[in-house]
Structure 1
């Protein structure tokens, strides 16, 4: 696909695809024309064809206009899990030029209150089981909640149906590719969450990046087990599959057996998960006793992939192309993707930069790194967000000369393959020696009886920091620590070997499956 260079959001030399849809609404309209009665969305409660998804989302859009007064640029919050209502609101808001604010349903009332207040939402749509949080929010700050008539409920009293009752004619709104379409709030592990503003041009380029690199088409069937309110579920799976004319199955809550049964029942051929889900699947008899030779594409991201896990995937899905992926909310999902083919020695890489990305690696002196030298990834391209919502400080500190500063440490090899070594804030400094946690975790994971591992730095009176390992295993105990240390000695320099060990039942994770190292640090001890 032809590429040209433009100025975008005041950033120069941004590469864009010449031929591209103008907005998210056009993506659905195009797919609805081509695939009409084909299933677009299959959830546990309802199936929507492309025609139904297009027509119902237009009805909702017109009712939001007429009954709720939603105009272009207004924010609409949804507190909805992986249900058929979610994609309806995605496209309803896109057609209105409104900005959808998907809220993490697992957040506490105080956290939701901040998001609703900060984004100044006009309408809230929530599942009934989460509506109790509205009362808690009113006690925290009544100003962040719209008028009660602008809070619509799914299930129970079901005021959501008000948006489907009347068929008003949708007042056409000109939606430009530079307009904002989503505000996705980051996890905020080190402070208040930041609202990443995704525009239509951001999302569209990510969809083209996936389609171009993965070679996806209308035969794709995916199963969304990660939350749709996160960028992987929303962009990498839901919108990506609808863009290419495939079918997006989803489940409201991940369960091993149910996930495996659904893959087998519908012959899902495109899987995209954090490595943890694949690891959990592999322990199930139903997984071990069935063939998955119909799966053609397997993608993973959000956490490092270990050689052991990759080998398991290769064996379990013998006919699938394996794609590691690296990105963030701020890059609208992918910044790098593994190509269709690559050598075995590259399996722990996160791949090549997507076609329109410009990625450079910068050291602590501000100079561009040499090959294999570790530094921070600076990322530029049309998939990088426009800005953080109402956050002048974050906009100043997170962008430089058109690049987004990722906070991730990595390197690139002579073939252009990128490797992520650590988060900048998670690097351990032991007496001046830099230790990348992923490197130590990779070695621990190779120990046969360790299911998962995570390491952090804890205070040390002599060296400043030392390495502590958190280990998940159903067979190992503290008596096995000498054996684990001996294993580490064979693979790591002495200063990198964990000095303190803790055995836990599971690693703390956010809704998208990423390990919450801050939670580990809060209970780290000595």
Structure 2
């Protein structure tokens, strides 16, 4: 028997945690319908000073689904959701299922070229968009006729609340864009819609970030989503008395499953605040006292950077997880010291419908003494993860290779991309593209993305290890390490760094700091300071964008201040 088939990680589960679970619902729509029957008057969404109950969300989704059907939206069609973290996203998601269709999550940061690609690739026939995004981006895309979209519904970020927080909305006002308005649809009496999707049907097309190529639509099935929603609930021990803080973007797989699907399952209130703005999010925490959240580590460091933030503000958050971006041990320690929250690691991909690994609640993940990496946890229920060499053969515990994941959360493939599906999901097992290892106890560690490895004079350098060392410097707020061309070494190590407010450090300082703590081939030869390290909407640092930057600056650069 292989080391992975033996599942040594089961011994690390909390006492009483089963090795496998059986989802209570077959589809995402059945999951929500069960909550409608069980707790119709429970609050499902808190949005500034507004609230929607489970019943109200159900009725709103019925209204939108009926309007779509009247416009010819048929079972199997796709509804694109082009919003921020607004109640409309949740309503649109449920409406797509009620109409027998599939939702398509669209990043609200996308511009016309990107939106056109996603609408055309998904074949979406309907679009639900924020009025401002429709006016600024989508209108011209639809007018050009290069997509199949024939029905457009707009919504305002000001709906379902009355506070109109000027830090987010400024002078914003509800706009009439000459198309159907969601608030008008919801206000009218309508019929109940009740499609019956199958567990294998696509529930959501969630597009990969495109940081390493053209975005691909991962087919997150109903079976995938209900399994991982229940994984969150059962792994962490959450119930209807909990409150979920919506810190991750809902279009991203973490927000979709770790926020929306979990809230629909419990049901429990999901706190939304349009988009992430640290001071606004801090106020939402103070007002709504959430107990659970999961988001990128960069979001938590941003909250820690709000001048008035205190440990008392975060006392209600008894279960905090982070996914989507690597956590340096020094950052996790700093957050616990400053905010009093223990950030548990979680790991997964769009293709695993959020988590494939989690640290058991209340357990401190170990740090690998050789690489300095913080463990991403252990495989969750019903999941097997193997570590493979370049030839696809299993490597022993402790050896580095590519992580390959099998389980009920793994997608069946990419939308209309059979070649990419065959390459990434041979036999239904996901080749993650992430390099890491399992230790002898069953803890897993992700060293880096396979494509981010730096080859410096024939030596392999993993950016994560260099970043983790730089994070221990007191002046460093964020850092990203990439390989850049070098005439002598082939590639050399370059670090982009942003500093903590009021801190000062020179490039030679940071080079010397790393040199003292790393092998000679690993430490960065070049340091460039940036005010902000570029990230995507989910908080993941965009190394490819950094690699594509202009030629190198000298090591003698100094950050003013």
Same topology, TM > 0.5: yes
Does the 8 A contact of 2:297 with 2:322 survive in 1?
A: yes
Instruction: Give SS of 2:41's match.
Output: coil
Q: For the structure 1 residues 518 and 344, does the alpha-carbon distance in structure 2 shift closer, same or farther, using more than 3 Å as the test?
A: closer
**Deviation of the 1:366 alpha carbon:** 2.5
Question: 1-side partners of 2:305 and 2:528: how far apart?
Answer: 23
Q: 2:51 aligns with which of 44, 47, 50?
A: 47
1:38 to 26, 39, 42: 42
Matched, 1:449 2:475: yes
Which is strand-richer, 1 or 2?
1
Q: Is the Cα contact below 8 Å between 2:28 and 2:226 reproduced in 1? A: yes
Q: Distance in 2 between matches of 1:220 and 1:312?
A: 26
Map of 1:7 onto structure 2: none
Q: Which one of 227, 232, 243 corresponds to residue 249 of structure 2? A: 227
| Contact persistence 1:299–1:325 (CA under 8 A) | yes
Q: 1:457 to 1:524 in 2, by over 3 A?
A: farther
Partner of residue 337 from structure 1, selected from 332, 348, 358: 358
| TM-aligned CA deviation for residue 316 of structure 1 | 4.6
How much does 1:294 deviate? 2.3
The residue that corresponds to 1:211 in the other structure is 233
Q: CA deviation at 1:369?
A: 1.6
Query: Of residues 108, 113, 126 in structure 1, which corresponds to 2:111?
Result: 108
- Cα 1:183–1:35 change in 2 (3 A) is same
Distance 1:235 1:218 in 2: 16
Deviations 1:164-208 (A, max 9, x none): 355443454321111111111112133321011110000011112
Verify the 8 A CA contact 2:365 2:375 in the aligned structure 1: no
Residue number among 487, 494, 501 corresponding to 2:513 in the alignment: 487
Q: Secondary structure at the match of 2:476?
A: coil
Confirm or deny: 8 A CA contact 2:494 2:525 kept in the other structure: yes
For 1:361, which of 371, 374, 387 is the aligned residue?
387
- Which residue of the partner structure matches residue 496 of structure 1? 522
Q: Does the CA-based 8 Å contact 1:63-1:167 persist in structure 2?
A: no
Aligned length: 506
Alpha carbons of 1:476 and 1:44: their partners in 2 closer, same or farther (altered >3 Å)? Answer: closer
2:147 paired residue number: 144
- Of 132, 136, 143, the residue aligned with 1:129 is 132
Q: Distance in 2 between matches of 1:276 and 1:18?
A: 34
Shift of 1:226: 2.3
Residue 46 of structure 1, CA deviation: 3.6
Partner of 2:336: 314
Q: Which of 74, 96, 101 is equivalent to 1:71? A: 74
- Could you tell me how far apart the structure 1 residues matched to 2:195 and 2:255 are? 27
SS in 2 for 1:263: helix
1:326-384 deviation line (CA, Å, top 9, x unaligned): 01111000010010243463491110001111110111232212222111111111101
Q: What stretches of structure 2 of length at least 5 have no aligned partner?
A: 1-18, 157-174, 368-372, 553-561
Query: Conserved in 2, the CA contact under 8 Å of 1:223 and 1:251?
Result: no
Greater displacement, 219-228 / 84-93: 219-228
Q: Equivalent residue for 1:3?
A: none
Q: CA deviation at 1:448?
A: 1.1
Matches within 5 A, 1:33-432: 33-44=37-48, 46-65=50-69, 67-132=70-135, 133-138=137-142, 141-147=144-150, 150-155=151-156, 156-157=175-176, 159-161=180-182, 163-164=185-186, 166-170=188-192, 172-288=194-310, 290-316=312-338, 318=340, 322-343=343-364, 345-346=366-367, 348-432=374-458
C-alpha displacement at 1:312, in angstroms?
Answer: 2.8
SS class of match (2:196): coil
Aligned position for 1:6: none
- Residues 394-429 of structure 1, C-alpha deviations (whole Å, 9 max, x = no match): 112111222111111111111211111110110101
Partners in 2 of 1:490 and 1:431 — Cα distance?
20
Following superposition, the deviation at residue 314 of structure 1 comes to: 2.5
Residues 245 and 153 (structure 1), Cα distance of their counterparts in 2 relative to 1, 3 Å cut: closer
Which 10-residue stretch deviates more, 156-165 or 467-476? Answer: 156-165
Match of 1:494, SS?
coil
Provide the rounded CA distance (Å) in 1 between the counterparts of 2:129 and 2:330.
41
- Structure 1: give runs of 5+ residues left out of the alignment: 1-14
> Residues 454 and 171 from structure 1, CA distance in 2 versus in 1: closer, same or farther, beyond 3 angstroms?
closer
Whole-angstrom CA distance in 2 between matches of 1:106 and 1:464: 35
Q: 1:317 offset after TM fit, Å?
A: 5.2
Q: CA RMSD in A?
A: 2.1
Q: Pick closer, same or farther for the CA change 1:45–1:291 going to 2, 3 Å.
A: closer
Alignment partner of 2:434: what SS? strand
Q: Secondary structure at the match of 1:129?
A: helix
Partner SS for 2:546? helix
